[in-house]
Each structure stands twice: as structure tokens, then as C-alpha cells.
Structure 1
Amino acid sequence: MTLTPPPLRRPRSVRPKAPCPQAPRVRIPPRPCLPPRVTLGTRAAALLDRADREVLWLYLLTRMSLWVTAYCTRWLFPGRSDTRAAGSVLAAFEQWDWHHYLHIARDGYFPEPAGGGSGQDDGDNREAFFPGFPLALRAVHAMVPHWTGAGLLISFVAGAVAVLALARLARWYLPDPRAGRRTVLLFLLSPCAVFLAAGYTEALFLALALPAWLAALRHRWPLAAGLTTLATTVRVSGLFLAAAVAVHFLLAVRSRGDLRALPWLALPAVPAALYAWYLHAHTGDWLAWNHAQERGWYRAFHTPWESWSVTWDAAFDGVHTTGYAVMFQAELLSMVAGLVLCCVQLRRRRWSEAVYIGLTLAALGTSYWYMSLPRSTLLWWPLWIGLAAWSLRRPRVATVYLCLAAPLGTVFAVTFLSGRWAG
């Protein structure tokens, strides 16, 4: 039998499927680009570079260490030996000149309604203090009810501005990128650094004077004159700064020949003139400020060798108790350091800086005896920049300085915070 294959079936035609209807495309508009949210923190971050932030971090660490010192001082050295309660840590900062600033801010220079006198009646000689810091204290007290807290807040904010300006000044003078941080480190660990944290004028003055000098270096004369004017309202040292700015202007004019900014240089004298006029209106004395200095702090004029001799006797001849004697020794050391610093500036032909240091030494070194010279070293920015430059060339200098300055700074801080005289 022969098998025959089955007949082939014709394949069924496959009808193509109709395409599935696609959903219409919806075009999504692009998300609008919104500008970044600008806050106070972002603005501050944009103004501060990494070096500035490192300086501020160092500043905060040293403020914390001072507050720890103040807390321990209140417990270890109370006003009475039999006390059982240390009291508020803010009270540790209520020492010496703070009471003068407080009285001026709270009651004014002449609290009596009729006449008021010249300050001799109550014996505090408050006319010896310029009005800049008391005015700032009164303004901040409107927001901070505690007077001491308001004063510490002023110094805290002003100190931050001052160290930033000091770091930028150091970077202007020195090419090393470490110059700013090194200068601030030596400055914040200096023996008298406690006065930057207290309700005193040093921090506020530096917050105005250092940017003023930086503006002068950049030949921005109106800004330099304006900031120097504000610094003059805080301390008489503003007039010394004004003289340094004027010398720097004359040196710049010698090469450029542009005298259009000359009238600005007279502006810093205005606060001193207005203050003298105000005191004269109440006391009839054009030299009331100077006479208050003489009555309260023996700042009558004496020759430099007489001032040195009297201070030497107070330091080493047993005229005063040991606590006062050691501070007079610090006054002598500060004078020697200032003279060396002035000579270094003259040798390097930095005439403006030499004028500033020289006028400061002349004012403080021609009184009956030296007083407040250690505290004035905080205002000598060429000192801290010069030490930083030296330590960057010779690393052992920084080690020696820190090993000496750290214990001295602790001693000065405890001395001031416990109510003893500390320069």
C-alpha cells in the first residue's frame, strides 16, 4: 500500500490587529527656576571665606575658655571666704571701669538736675570716659534688659568683627596664607585678652579701628575717616589712629598727587571737639576731660624718665602691696615692648604705624606713673602681625610665646574676674 500524505491545508489568513489607541501626550511645562532663598545665614556665608570661618571658630573657642575661667573664679575666689553661694557668673565681669560705663549709660555724665557739678562731688570722675561705649550700651540695653549682659554682648559681637579685620590685615601685610589665623591666635591668647570679653571699650574700638586702617591701606579715604571718627567716640586713641591715617594719606599723595580726600581727614577731630564743648557747657572747663584724668588716675604731665622712675619704685621698692606691685611690673614690661615695637616700625619705614604706636606711648608714658599699658597692647595691631610673621619664619617662637602667654593670660583673667587690678 502506498501511503499518501494528507492534503495541505491552506493557512488561515491572520488579520492584523488594530493598533491600540495611544493616550495623547500631555506636555508638562518645565518647572520654573526659583531663585535660591536668601537668608541672613547665607549672606554671612557668602561674605566669609574658609579662612574667616576658621578665625571665628577660634574666637568662639577662646570665648568658651574665658567663660569657664569666669565660672571657676566665682567659685574659687568669692568676695567673702565664708560664702556658700558663688552668685551669677555675670558678676565676675562687673569690675573696675565697668561701673563708670554703667553709670554714664544709666544716669548720664551729670545726673543732678540742677547744675550737676563737674563730677568732683561724687568722686567718680566719669568725664574721663568718652561717650561712645556708654551710648552703645544704652542702645543695646533697650533690647537686653540686663546691663551687664548688654555690655558683654557688645564686646562679643565687636570682638568677632575685630578678629576678622585683624586676620585680613595680617593677610594684607604677610604673603603666607597662615598669617591671618596665626595673628588671631597670638592676639586672642595674649595676657590681657580677658578685656576683649568684658564690658570694656577695647573690643568696640578695635571693631572700628581695624576696618578703618584696612580701608586706609586700600586708599578708601572717606570710609577710613568715617570709621576712625566712630572709633574716636569710643577712646581717645582714635585721635592717634587719625594721625596715622593722615600720615598714610600724605605718603600716598606723594606718589599719586590726589588731594581731593584731604577734607575727610579732619572728620575724626569732630567727636573730641563736640565732647569738649559738651563738658564745657556743664562745667565751664574746656579741659574737663583732662582734669578728670588727673584727679582720678594721676595723669598729669611728667617727663618720661620721671614716669619710669615712679613706676619702677611702685613695682620693686615695696611701696605697694604685692598685687599692685606685680601689675606695675607688667606696666614696665609693656612700655619696653612698645618702645621696641616703635623702633621696629621706624626701621622698616612704616611711618604710619610708628606714629600710632609712638603717640600711644607718649600719652601713657608721661603721666605720674604708667597705667593701662598692658591693656593698651591689645590695640597695637602691628605687634600681633609682627609676632605672627616672626613665628611663621621661626616655628619655635610660637611655642615659646604660647607657653608664656597662656599662663599669664590665665593669671590676668583670674585677677580681673576676682576684682583685683589687672592692668
Structure 2
Amino acid sequence: MATTCVIRDVNRHVGEEVRIGCWLHNKRSSGKIQFLQLRDGTGYIQGVVVKSEVSEEIWDNAKSLTQESSMYVTGIIREEPRSKSGFEMTVTNVEIIQITHDYPITPKEHGVDFLMDNRHLWLRAPKQRAILTVRGEIIRAVQNFFDENGFTLVDPPILTPTSAEGTTNLFHTKYFDEDAFLTQSGQLYMEAAAMALGKVYSFGPTFRAEKSKTRRHLIEFWMIEPEMAFVDHEESLRIQEQFVSHIVQSVVKNCRAELETLERDITKLEKIKAPFPRISYDDAIKFLKDNGHEIEWGEDFGAPHETAIAESYETPVFITNYPAGIKAFYMKPDPNRPEVVLCADMIAPEGYGEIIGGSQRIDDPELMEERFKEHNLSSETYKWYMDLRRYGTVPHSGFGLGLERTVAWICGVDHVRETIPFPRMLYRLYP
């Protein structure tokens, strides 16, 4: 009786007969031999059907297979150095589940809109599978890092009565007879959790109703948001660079085959190790002006500015101490220079832009009250948030990492639409 296994584990069954549930990715024939490119979600393997070694029924079954037909294939696993996986299967039986007709995504070139309309099928392509496998590894690495460093996972609400950053780019809904919004960040709630548990993180979907069509933006995306009591800005930066280093090296170690499928330059990823360089906002403005960019102190950076700065480094770079006027209300001013705040954005190399934004949070209740007035925020709505400063306030810091931008950078893909199974973008809600 053949052993049931998956393609990923065939190395454990060399010389044995196994049975694999799979789909036909591609096929070619050489007269009396058929070469079946099989996939099962865990990997790919070539199945070789020799006419003289199987019954006529099995030969005809193999011959009838079309792209994405489903089946159970039984065969003997053997080592094959010429194969990418290092293994091949000599097929002894083919049990057809379904013959697929007119599969929409053929090996020819297709337009982006067509592929996005068929995203539910496009996911099966080798490149898309590799990206989602890397995404899964990143998620595993995120959880491992926080588990090993004393953080507790806490889930903030998705429906909220207020904005985390005082912006208007929110999806509005009705919560019975009240107004509610889809969350743009779990940060404020995570600050409350940090006052209870010390070091916490959230990992969940966030939503921004920005009518943006750039390659870096999604309407729905996933954020990892740690908050840490008794941690200042400097210590937070050290945690951030250790965190990102851990993620990248986990992918390099565990997803080498996927990175090769994506034709990613792995040597660039191997260099991503803490500590990371830092440049102040002031120095960044000077650098940009010296290199022909028209920008003044007090303006925020756009994608071209971030890319220009990142090109000087082989690792992510921190841009620190932005002007208070262009940052969120909760960021703590620099005690030595109150017009700037204790914050940093981490910019990924190779033009992938900001992947982390973080800061030390205001812990002084009087200063927070001032910020509420400056930003026209309702004291009643944010009363619970003020309570965190009234009852046992402490220095605390936090940051947020955007999962999809991180996946795009590590995989080396051009657009974040390929980094999430079913992207939600401007004018796209299908499938």
C-alpha cells in the first residue's frame, strides 16, 4: 500500500511508493514517455509516465490530463540531481478526480486587470505561491520574535468610535444608532494593553480610505503594532532593527527555494542585520536639497524622497526626529528641541519606502490635553485614552510595521497587490 505524502516531504521517501493528491501544472510528451509537472501547494515535482511500464488505462489517463486537472498520482520517489527539487517520481498510477477544460490562465502573457479579475486562480502560479509562502514565513517569524522577547498578543477592536491619528481617511459605518469606523490602527488600544501587560503587540487588518493608486498602497492591509511600557525612543529603535533583522534572516533561512523562484537577489537580504544606520530629518532635508530635490523643512517626504535617501544604504535606514507639525498628536516632543518629536520611520532599501513608523508616546497628561486642543479632538471621545495618563502614566513607546510592504521588499515584487491573497484597492473589490 502506497504511503500518502505531500511533495514537500518526498525526500523522506526515496525508493518508496507514495500517493500524492495534486494538480497538473504543465505537461510535455516525448513519444512513449509523458512528463507531468505536478503541484500540491507544498511544492512541485515531475512525474514520469513510461508507456511500457503502465497499463493502457493509466497511460490514457495521463494523456488526457489538462492544465489544472486534479488527481491522485502514485509512484516511486527517486533522487534526480537535474531537478530543481532534487527528486522525481516514476508514476505507477493516475486516478483522475476532474479534467479541467478551458482554464483561463494559460502560460501566455496576461494583463494585470485580467489576472486580478482571476486572482482566485492566479494564486496557483509559482510566483504567487512563492510570495504567499514568504508571507506565511514572515508571519511566523513575527510571532516567534515577540514570543521569545516577552510580548503578549492582544487583539484591538476593528470597529472604533474614533480615529487613531486624527485623520478623516476612514471608512464610516453605522453601529446601530451610533457612528463607527473601520480601524486605521490599533495603537491607542495597544497603549492601554501595555499599561496592563507591559509589552504587547497586535496583528490584524487595518483600513484606510485613501484614494491612492500607488504601488505601495492598499485599502485593506495588515499591521503589526507593538507597544511597550517603560521603553524610551532609543530602546524602541533597537527593538525595531532586531525585529526586522530577525524577519529577514528567517525568510532567507526557510524560504530559499521561494526566493529563487522569485529570482530575488538573496545576497542583498543576507546583509540585513542590525544595527541599521540613522539620519535625522534635518540631515535628510539637507541631503535632498543637495541632490536637486525641491523640499523645505517642515514638509513630509514622498516616495521619491524616501527612495533617494534609501539608495545610499544597503540596509533599512531610520529617519529620526520629524517636525511635530507633520506627525501624529500622541508623539512625545524632544525635551531638548520641542519643535521635533521622538519618532522614526524605517525606510527599506531598493525603493520600497517606509515599512515602520514609530515613536515615544506623550506620557504627560497636561501636554496631552494641549495636543487634544491643537488637533480639535474631543475630550469626551478620548477620555479613556486620557485615563492612561491620569492613572499611573509611564514612559512608553511603540511602532507599526506594514506587512504587505515588508513582503514586497523581501520578495522583490513591484506592487503590493501581489503580497496579499485578495487585495483591496481603489475600484477593486472583486473577487
TM bin, normalised by shorter chain, reads: under 0.3
Structure with the largest fraction of helix: 1
TM-score of the aligned structures, taking structure 1 as reference length: 0.27
Structure with the largest fraction of strand: 2
Bigger relative CO (Cα 8 Å, ≥ 6 apart) = 1
